[in-house]
Structure 1
Amino acid sequence: MNLSPNIMSGLQDLNYTELTELQEKALPTILEGKDALIKAEPGKSKNATFVIPALAKIDAKENVVDTTTLVITPNASESQQIDELIWAMGYHAQIECASIDLDGDEEEQKQLLKDAPQVIVGNPGPLLNLLQDLRYVFRNVDYLVIDELDKLISLDLMDRVQNILKRVLSKHQTLIFTSDLTKEVEDFAEKNLEEGEAIGFDPAETQVLNKPPEVPDNLSQGYIYVPNRMKISTFMAHIEESSDDRCVIFTASKRGTDRLYKILRKNNFKATSLHGKLSDKKRAQRLANFTNGDVQFLLVADISAAALNISDVKQIINYDVPGDPDEYRYRTGLVSSGKAARIVSLVSKQDRSDINKLEKELGQVPKEMDLPDKVKQKLKERRQKKKKSKSKSKSKKRRGGNGKKQQQKKKKSNGMELPRPSYDKLSGGKSGKSTKKDKKTGVIEMLKNLFS
């Protein structure tokens, strides 16, 4: 690290010989003067991550006579620890610091504030009270740290933090540290960081602070209305008609990605896939295979386009239409410039509302594309088959109906009907009349006649 001898001596005094993983990720960005939202757990590693650049910045100046660094932290013990770290690391550079915390004496802290040390570390409550009492504003702060933002939010201290920030009148670099990324943290970071970077977050969270790009006016955007139960057929026919350029395909689920991967490989296309459950090593390897040109198709599920470090892609296919317009914008940002570059969405019946929402939100209407020729042919064959089956069923009904009518007519023309059996008076037979012969039939009658 390119630090001054004074700061290096302070690090040596504290036996700081190696950077932690967090510091390796964050210090280059911070030392360049960029705003950042940094994920970090409480502790010395996190504190040193913002203290070292602050001291380097102060030591590089001449005749600093006012407060140039302000650190806001939620509790007294943390404020005191940061104060001690600054004093020890900045000892050889003669950098002064004051802690305005909940445990301090109010009158002593007022005097410390009036003395305008180069660094002030404070808790929101007591710091705001002193600033209001003294009508104090910061005119030369160029380095602002908001420490443990998630904790400040949970302790309901954000109104006080906002009032303190109103008193920082100078242009400054802003660093925000948090151990958890909540919606409140994200909203605050978006409002208070200027072109900030997100450091230490999972790939799925990296889109925070990255505002979606505007959709280029010259980008070719289209969609294909997919016939019922023909989505895969439409997809395969479309890529067969497309060029051999690299293509990224977004699906709504890992299951959908796995299915398309098998189909592509079965048809001798080179493909690889990315999803949220992959290890960092596998993700990097598969991404490298695509960027190096070893495979033509990259299938993506459960990962935002904002998290993909890809450029110069000729075609993006939305196998499933994204419901979020910002995600659509991120995907257009992956497409290279040129006439052949385009983004195509496959719109099934259930996707109609999503494509309508995109059209409304983007202010640009993607053009409806013709179905691929193969799909048109299959659709034609399907309709013809359906038409034949309908005509067959109609002819059967007609034949069955005419036969019955002919039988009825035949009966009427003969003027007679088949005899119907009568079942009343069963002993009398079909006519129902008993006869003398009938009486002498049967076992009982035979016995009577025998013994009579």
Structure 2
Amino acid sequence: MSGLHDVNYTELTELQEKALPKILEGDDALIKAEPGKDKNATFVIPALAKIDAKKKVEETTTLILTPNSAESKQIDELIWAMGYHAQIECASIDLDGEEEQQKELLKDTPQVIVGNPGPLLAILQDLRYIFRHVDYLVIDEMDTLFSLNLVPKVNNILKRVISEHQTLIFTDTLTDEVQNFAENTLTDGIAIGFDPSKSKMLSKPPNVPGNLSQGYIYVPNRMKITTFMAHIEETPEERCVVFTASKRGTDRLYKTLRKHNFKATSIHEKLSEEKVAQRLANFTNGDIQFLLVADISAAALDIDNVAQVINYDVPSDPDEYRYRTDLVGSGKATRLVSLVSKQDRSDINRIEKELTQVPKELDLPKKVTQKLKERKKNQKKSGSKKQRNGNKKSRKSKKKSKDSGLELPRPSYDKLSGGKSGSSPKKDKKSGVIQMLKNLFS
């Protein structure tokens, strides 16, 4: 506390209010933070608190990896200033230091080591050094470490930390590389400072509840909304979350539900946080029966005890399917139903392969079955009508040609040896002599 007073820390920043309680509880975390003193203090304060709480520390228990020498020195100075009264020692192993001098610093086993991956790894390999007592590890500016191609060196340093430890990863931007690294490095990690849709990105998807009734309905061609409406009419007055693949899908369903006097609201990623929170509150309070969701993972929804979840569009990711089952309350009356169109069949097959508890195929709602029968009857009627109309037209055309006295055009025989009359190619000698005489006297 004296050290915090020395550096004029009197109030927590917004980042520290979110992150410090979780860090002090010992959680692994991926934390969004911009470079600067605010971010540095967020991991330095818990580090010093951990060290100060121990009776005696004679080994290195805190390791901080940061990409450049300027940042390493700033963190070193902050630790020295905050930890002065507690006599906490720190060493900076950075790009600007002399190797032999830094080796001596490492041999003295300071309680905190701040290092740049390149020079630190070189010294560790040269001394064959292993961290056996580190219980607090910080990887700072993970996005920059990737851009500078320093992650392979970070991984080699991590192999030399053989003790159990809490790991914190700080990043300004969340790339796929950073997220994958965090998922592979953190143990039951949490995400802090990101938008709600990313809040559970590091948590493992839940198991499908054993008492959950789950099934799917094969939807006839061009009858998805009809099937959806028929299904919900068979399961009335239930709090229901409906997932679609796009905002356009939620808009169509919203209009259809309102037309049939159902209370519904929708949320999607383009809405502001305030509007999403308000609409979720309306749903959880019971004012709204149907919550339509597009472009938002079920992992980001802070709701539970839903009576029914409907996959209007089947998710392509089995983990997302698992998160959706987690929204459903316990009990035999609860269910998850997927509407499987022709395009969704590969997705439902993938889900069936990965889940231990496989969803069952459900019968079509009675209204849909009845409409299918009517459709087939209409198709038969229209087909036979067309055939009759076709026969009538052909008969009429024949009759018309006879009545008008017109004959159908005859085929031409110009190219045949018999000429247009189609006579035999053999010549009549008599007719040939008479014709010759006519030509002579004409």
How much does 1:365 deviate? 3.5
Q: 1:69-90 deviations in whole A, cap 9, x for unaligned?
A: 1101110000000000000111
Of all paired residues, the percent bearing the same amino acid is: 74
2:298–2:323 Cα contact (<8 Å) kept: yes
Q: For 1:46-78, what per-residue CA distance to the aligned partner results, in whole angstroms no more than 9, with x for missing partners?
A: 000000000111111111111111101110000
Match of 1:216 in 2: 209
TM-score, structure 1 as length reference: 0.86
Match for residue 441 of structure 1? Answer: none
Q: What TM-score, normalized to structure 2?
A: 0.88
Q: Does 1:13 align with 2:6?
A: yes
Q: Deviations over 1:289-321 (max 9, x none)?
A: 111212111110010111111111121101111
Matched, 1:153 2:146: yes
Whether contact under 8 Å (2:190, 2:200) holds in the other structure is no
Q: Within 5 Å, give how 1:346-361 maps onto structure 2.
A: 346-361=339-354
Aligned pairs for 1:158-237 within 5 A: 158-237=151-230
Tell me the residue number matched to 2:310.
Answer: 317
Q: Deviation of residue 360 (structure 1)?
A: 2.6
- Residue correspondence of structure 1 range 9-408 to structure 2 within 5 A: 9-362=2-355, 364-402=357-395
Q: Distance in 2 between matches of 1:130 and 1:335?
A: 54
8 Å CA contact retained: 1:207, 1:304 = no
Higher-Rg structure is 1
Q: Give, in whole Å, the separation in 2 of the partners of 1:227 and 1:358.
A: 21
Q: How many residues align?
A: 407
Q: 1:398 to 1:201 in 2, by over 3 A?
A: same
Could you tell me how far 1:346 is from its partner in structure 2?
A: 1.0
Give a deviation string over 1:186-244, Cα, whole Å, max 9, x none. Answer: 12111211111011112232342122122234322211121222111111111111142
Amino acid at match of 1:37: L
Query: What is the CA distance between 1:367 and its match in structure 2?
Result: 1.6
Contact 2:217 2:340 in 1 (8 A): yes
- Structure 2 SS opposite 1:360: helix
Unpaired segments ≥5 residues, structure 1: 1-7, 412-416, 421-452
Q: Distance in 2 between matches of 1:158 and 1:348?
A: 44
Task: Specify every segment of 5 or more residues in structure 2 that has no aligned partner in the other structure, as ranges.
Answer: 409-442
Distance 1:73 1:50 in 2: 12
Q: Report deviation, 1:361.
A: 3.1
- Counterpart Cα distance in 1 of 2:406 and 2:38: 107
Runs of 4+ in 1 over 6 A off after TM superposition: 404-408, 417-420
Instruction: Provide, for residues 405-446 of structure 1, a one-character-per-residue CA deviation record: whole Å limited to 9, x for no partner.
Output: 7789x99xxxxx7899xxxxxxxxxxxxxxxxxxxxxxxxxx
- Pairwise CA RMSD of aligned residues? 2.0
Distance 1:404 1:179 in 2: 80
